[in-house]
Amino acid sequence: MTRFRPGRLLLQLSCLLIAIWLVAPTLVVIPMSFADRKSLAFPPQGFSTQWYANFFANPQWFGSLVVSLKIAAMVAVVATIIGTMAAIGIERLKTRAGGIIRVLLLTPMIVPGVVLAVGIYAVYLDTRLVGTWTGYVLAHTLLAIPFVVIAVGANLAVFDARLETAAASLGASRLTTFFTVTLPLILPGILSGALFAFVTSFDEVIVSLFITSPQLKTLPVQIFSSMTRDADPTVAAVGSLIFLATTLIIGLGLIFGLRRRGA
Amino acid sequence: MSVLTGRAPRGALLLTLPAIAVLLLVMAVPFGVIVLRSFAEPVPGLANYVWFFQTPVNLTVLARTFTIAFWVTASCVLVAYPYAFAMSIAGPRLRLVLIMCVLVPFWVSGVVRTLAWVILLQDSGVINRILLALGFEKVRLIRTQLGVTIGMTQVLLPFMIMPLYAVMRGIDLRLLQAARSLGAHPVKSFFQIYLPLSLPGVFAGATLVFILSLGFYITPLLLGGPQSTMLSTLIQQQVLSLLSWGRGGAMGVVLLVATFGVLALAGPFMRRRYQISGGSR
């Protein structure tokens, strides 16, 4: 074993560096957000909370946050229902057709964002969906469905279908069986699918950039336009807030998920 | 009968219909419109494609897109391999920490992550300060191909680490012990046993990273400059700035074909590898 030691040390060292490289860039925005002056020079000078104040006071910023939260909530509901239905359908098909449908439903994850965005923009221009709630929710739902299909599908794969047969043999109707047996057992998958759908919508920027309007703008679009306009540390304040919120949500989801699995 | 084991596949198909409808309306129709316009605007024919492949700038950008995607993929493989290996042999607690480190950047807003890289890579940024403090020369990072590659590699690393880890977790480490007990040098047993068994994960992750790199938009736009423009930016310029839907559409079709072409080339290759290694399938 002693012969392996230098290799092991090298492995530990490189992993430490990679972990820092993965995490540190994300954390840079936190000190940045307390900068004193309107600049993105690092390390920031002085200390102030003016950028947080600006975020909450400026309707451009806070309004776009509210828009994003509403859209993400709607997407979470729509994509979770549609995606869960699809995952159950795929699981039931069990055949080649099921596999093909699954692959098709996962393609939005890998198609180039700008090509999709240009296409959606073209269609939305003709159907007057640019800058509308429906437009955002539809586009984000397309991008969120794969995550729901994966999450619920993974749960269904370990689901014992004989439980349903048992319920049916005891006289339960299909709907009763679904709501009292199937649904509670695949709930963890559905919940994590909903969480992923929410985050996908909340984070989506490319398609949103194309279908945005001055009246209805999501937060990532606002962040992006601010970044291309000037060096405004408000962006860093938003980044820190999102980081905090997402970490809290995912942390809670993780705890909830672990407890579920343990139960 | 039950929901999952029911008899009529028609019912099952029905359940997938809403999702397929969204797919058709919001993806298939838009792609159809792009393809149509690339052949129809401003005049019917192949003019847009002829223009694309006869304009040197476009070919330069196309080549650069593939070059950057290649370097990002190669860097991801090199960085992810030891990390995923460590994840697969670590104890439960350390493993959780390592997984968290992979996931934290994954779920923090993509645009904000790019902002962080702008702060780090700028001329008076952290990396250049460190380089100066160590006595090196200042390096131009922002608005260069190197800067774009560094930023994209970090953003895409989780997509490489996760499939690799999934495969490595299933490799029986006793095979390495067996090789060593038979007298094989650790280096030799790694290259002859561990590496071939982990290749399916490398292929899966590399394909994913390469495809995603080809279509990257935000990171190259914010970290890059005129010398590191990628195809996505060019498409956006054609459509939004020049209002040339035909040319933009043709570029979009080229990018789509490239993406699915890479996928089609890698697909059967990956599947065969899976069978040889007797892995998860």
Report the pLDDT averaged over residues B7-32.
Answer: 89
Selecting from B1, B25, B27 the residue whose C-beta is nearest the C-beta of A168 gives B1
What percentage of chain A has pLDDT greater than the value 90? Answer: 52
Amino acid at B193: I
Interface predicted TM-score of the whole assembly (ipTM), two decimals: 0.87
Instruction: Tell me whether residues B83 and A141 touch, CB distance under 8 A.
Output: no
Cβ count within 10 A of residue B41: 17
Q: What is the DSSP string of B233-248?
A: HHHHIIIIIS--HHHH
User: pLDDT value at position A101?
Assistant: 92
pLDDT band at B272 (very low <50, low <70, confident <90, very high): very low
B9: pLDDT strictly greater than 80: no
Cβ count within 10 A of residue B281: 8
Report the pLDDT averaged over residues B175-187.
Answer: 86
Work out whether the CA dihedral B235, B237, B240, B246 comes out positive or negative. Answer: negative
- Six-digit token string for A231: 């060096």
- Shortest Cα–Cα distance, A61 to chain B (Å): 15
Report the CATH superfamily, name and number, of domain A59-262.
Answer: MetI-like (1.10.3720.10)
Selecting from A4, A90, A122 the residue whose C-beta is nearest the C-beta of B30 gives A122
Instruction: Tell me whether B116 touches chain A (CB under 8 Å).
Output: yes
Out of B37-41, B132-136, B272-276, least confident range: B272-276
In angstroms, the CA A189 to CA A147 distance is 10
Cβ count within 10 A of residue B218: 24
Domain boundaries B45-277, corresponding CATH code: 1.10.3720.10
Highest-confidence segment of A98-107, B70-79, B87-96, B267-276: B70-79
Burial A170-206 (b: 16+ CB within 10 A, else e): eebebeebbeebbeeebebbbbbbbbbbbbbbbbbbb
Query: A90-121, pLDDT tens digit by residue?
Result: 988 877 888 899 999 999 999 999 999 999 99
Any idea where the domains of chain A sit in the sequence? 59-262
* Inter-residue contact B249 to B236 (CB < 8 Å): no
Selecting from B3, B119, B236 the residue whose C-beta is nearest the C-beta of A40 gives B119
User: pLDDT value at position A57?
Assistant: 94
A137: pLDDT strictly greater than 50: yes
Q: What is the mean pLDDT of chain A?
A: 88
Instruction: Tell me whether residues B215 and A111 touch, CB distance under 8 A.
Output: yes
In sequence order, what are the residues at sequence separation of 6 or more whose Cβ sits closer than 8 angstroms to the Cβ of residue B16? Answer: A85, A86, A89, A90, A93, A101, A105
A58: pLDDT strictly greater than 60: yes
The chain A residue lying nearest B116, using CA atoms, is A25
Largest Cα separation within chain B, whole Å, is 74
Instruction: Report A:89-148 residues touching B (Cβ under 8 A).
Output: 89-93, 95, 97-98, 101, 104-105, 107-108, 110-116, 118-123, 138-139, 141-142, 145
Query: A207-250, pLDDT tens digit by residue?
Result: 999 999 999 999 999 999 998 888 888 999 998 898 888 778 77
Instruction: Tell me whether B136 touches chain A (CB under 8 Å).
Output: no
In angstroms, the CA B211 to CA B263 distance is 7
B80: pLDDT strictly greater than 90: yes
| Residues of B whose CB is below 8 A from A123 | 26, 29-30, 33
In angstroms, the CA A255 to CA B1 distance is 35
